[in-house]
């Protein structure tokens, strides 16, 4: 194998490794975002249950704070 071919092969190998690493990072980010969305959905369910089933007043300070936490997590 000539030096030019060897260098080209090494560059190609490093490029493939970099792409594989970026794909791994994207998969981890996607999983993290999925967990975050599931947590938000669950917190919203709890909030709605407290408000609609247990008749908690949404103007109480802890309910306002709960809503603020949920809204903050969405951003």
Region 48-64: mean pLDDT is 98
Take residue 66 and report the two structure tokens written for it.
Answer: 């709960």
At 10 the pLDDT is: 94
pLDDT band (50, 70, 90) for residue 59:
very high
d(CA 1, CA 48): 68
At 4 the pLDDT is: 81
At residue 57, φ and ψ (nearest 5 deg) are: -75, 125
Instruction: Transcribe 47-59 into DSSP letters.
Output: HHHHHHTS---TT
pTM score above 0.85: no
Take residue 20 and report the two structure tokens written for it.
Answer: 């594989």
């Amino acid at each position: 194998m000539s030096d030019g071919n060897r260098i080209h092969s090494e560059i190609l190998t490093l490029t493939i490794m970099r792409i594989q690493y970026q794909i791994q990072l994207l998969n981890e980010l996607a999983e993290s975002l999925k967990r975050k969305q599931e947590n938000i959905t669950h917190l919203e369910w709890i909030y709605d249950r407290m408000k609609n089933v247990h008749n908690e007043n949404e103007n109480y300070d802890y309910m306002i704070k709960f809503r603020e936490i949920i809204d903050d997590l969405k951003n």
